Amino acid sequence: MIELQNVTKRYPGNREALTHLNLTIEQGEMAFLTGPSGAGKSTLLKLIAAIERPTRGQVFINRKNITRIPKRKVPALRRHMGVVFQDHHLLHDRNVFDNVSLPLQIAGFAQVDINRRVRAALDKVALLDKEQMMPITLSGGEQQRVGIARAVVHKPAILLADEPTGNLDPELSAEIMRLFNDFNQVGVTVLIASHDLDLIERMNKRIIRLRAGECIDSQSPLDAQNFEIHN
Amino acid sequence: MVKARHQQPLARPSFKTRFRAYVRDHVRVLLFSLGKLYRTPFATTFTLLMIAVALALPACLYVLLNNLQTVTHKWDDVGQISLFLQTDTSEPALKQLKATITKHEQVENVNYISADLALSEFKNRSEFGDLLEGLPINPLPPTLVVTPIDSAKRSDTLNKLKKEFQSLANVEQVQLDMQWLQRLQAITDIIRRAITAIGIMLGLSVLLVVGNSIRLDIENRRAEIEVTKLIGATDRFIRRPFLYGGMWFGLLGGILALFLVFIVLLVIRQPAQDLVSLYNSDFKLMLPSFIQSISLIGSSIFLGLFGSWLAVGHRIAKIQPS
């Protein structure tokens, strides 16, 4: 589903964010991306969402090479993905319903389908009763759930999340992770960048560890069960 | 690993559905961008007033100029053409000449002044009248005074008429008293050009005012633009509310400008009439016609749209999620 072949990303100023990285995430897989700040987690997600282009190497999404995808084809690519941010990036001049419906508006769905899908997505994140509220009136955890509803409302094949629990307490974080797990259960490929090691180890999923732009370890769930933290 | 229940991906909407969604989005954005102006009343009022003043000034001058031109048309004796005939012109030839000229489509009426009548008028009016007493014959020629129709009272048309009459039989000389008219026309030409130049400069300022407001709006919504791009919005989709915003600026600014024009004209209407009545004219200050009002608002809308289009330009394309 997601494949990176020998990818190097160098930012202006010669800072190398990723170095000769090889990585494959299968369809329907759920994986965590971890490592210290500056390890290249965000850069990796940006390459997948075509926000950044690799300096060298190739990126494939669903067997399509997106390494040099033309600008005008980027919107179509992103409509197959859902992206969740740490600070949820909701639009504050419109209510919850309108925020969640945005991907469907953009893709040109009929209003009846939009209504149905938005309610389904809000139901999934348990916010059905808040659809008319403005985002600013919601708690941090609720805002993050609105962000997740928006990321999944168009049933994307790939769900990317960059530190989705970064601002939440442990209990809310676990709840958010369970949501991601639910989406993975219905076949969505999920890739989550997080440095909350305790939490992601409990999820019993594949963990990809980056350090200084290199993949130093990639563990399947079975290994993770017996994994002990080495400092 | 077997998944419990795979979700079905959403099918891409049909062309018809997408087209209807496209129209729906236009309507939604139309109202949304108006609401956006309403939510920032101070900044909006400020921008609208700047647009209105910039447009009202040339519009007022233009209307006044048009009025000035109608005033000049009211002076009937301007642009009269005097045809001095040969003294030996026979009575039938004269009648035929008068008939020919009267039939001319650019002639309002023709007045015949016989040589005798001319002589007696000359005697009455001139202190040299006595001089003529000593002459054995009347030296004054019979004259036809031609008044052209209003639309022909332009220097180029009058000159053409003059040439035409010159070539007629029995016409000795054609005289055109239009120095005054020419001067006035030269002046109005200068004023017209000045107004056009002022109009262009102020139109440009409207462009800049709208462009700047939209540019600020884009900067304020940078984060929003990045997010919508990240969930698959095309540049056109993102550009739309800003273009509609410029359109609203133009429409509302244009209506306000028209309002200002009417206020200014109503204020100067009475004094203008007082002034003109001193010249014994029944002149009435004309307000902008319906067509002129619509053109003012139309050009304002155009300036608003064009200004926002310039501001949006490549800016939206440059903003990328980071």
**ipTM of this complex:** 0.82
Question: For residue B255, what pLDDT is reported?
Answer: 96
Q: Where are the domains of chain A?
A: 1-79+158-163+188-195+204-231
**Assigned fold of A1-79+158-163+188-195+204-231:** Rossmann fold (3.40.50)
Question: For residue A152, what pLDDT is reported?
Answer: 92
Question: For residue A225, what pLDDT is reported?
Answer: 47
Give tens-digit pLDDT for A43-67.
899 999 998 899 999 999 988 899 9
- With contacts defined as CB-CB under 8 Å, which chain A residues touch B12? 107
Nearest Cα to Cα of residue A82 among B232, B220, B15, B10: B232
Query: A97 φ, ψ to 5°?
Result: -60, -50
Query: A99 versus B92: which is more confidently predicted?
Result: A99
Nearest to A109 among B3, B13, B320 (CB): B13
Q: Of A106-110, B4-8, B229-233, where does mean pLDDT reach its minimum?
A: B4-8
- Burial (CB < 10 A; 0-12, 13-18, 19+), residue B212, is middle
DSSP secondary structure letters along A144-161: HHHHHHHHHTT--SEEEE
CA A28 centroid distance within chain: 14
Tokens of A53: 């282009």
- CA-nearest residue to B3 within chain A is A185
pTM over 0.80: no
Give tens-digit pLDDT for A157-209.
999 999 888 878 888 888 889 999 999 999 899 999 998 888 888 888 888 88
HSE, side-chain direction, 13 A CA sphere, residue B74: 13
- What is the least distance, in Å, from the CA of B151 to any CA of chain A? 58
The arithmetic mean of pLDDT across residues B260-279, rounded, is 85
- With contacts defined as CB-CB under 8 Å, which chain B residues touch A42? none
The arithmetic mean of pLDDT across residues B73-99, rounded, is 77
The span from the CA of B288 to the CA of B265, in Å, is 9
Please tell me the class of the B79-177 domain. Answer: alpha beta
The reply to whether residue B13 touches residue A107, judged by beta carbons under 8 angstroms, is yes
The reply to whether residue B25 touches residue A105, judged by beta carbons under 8 angstroms, is yes
The arithmetic mean of pLDDT across residues B26-51, rounded, is 91
DSSP secondary structure letters along A207-228: EEEEETTEEEEEE-HHHHHT--
- The amino acid occupying position B224 is E
The span from the CA of A16 to the CA of A8, in Å, is 7
Pick the most confident of A6-10, A200-204, B44-48. Answer: B44-48
| Start-to-end CA span in chain A (Å) | 33
Residue whose token pair is 């130049």: B197
Nearest to B231 among A28, A102, A111 (CB): A102
Tokens of B264: 């200014």
To 5 degrees, how large is the angle CA A207–CA A208–CA A210?
140
Q: Where are the domains of chain B?
A: 23-73+184-318, 79-177
- CA-nearest residue to A157 within chain B is B9
Q: How far is CA A109 from CA A82, A95, A135, A150, B134, in A?
A: 17, 19, 23, 15, 105
pLDDT over 60 (residue A226): no
**Local confidence band at B174 (pLDDT 50, 70, 90 cut-offs):** confident
The span from the CA of B227 to the CA of A89, in Å, is 7
The reply to whether residue A186 touches residue B5, judged by beta carbons under 8 angstroms, is yes
Nearest to B232 among A72, A93, A107 (CB): A107
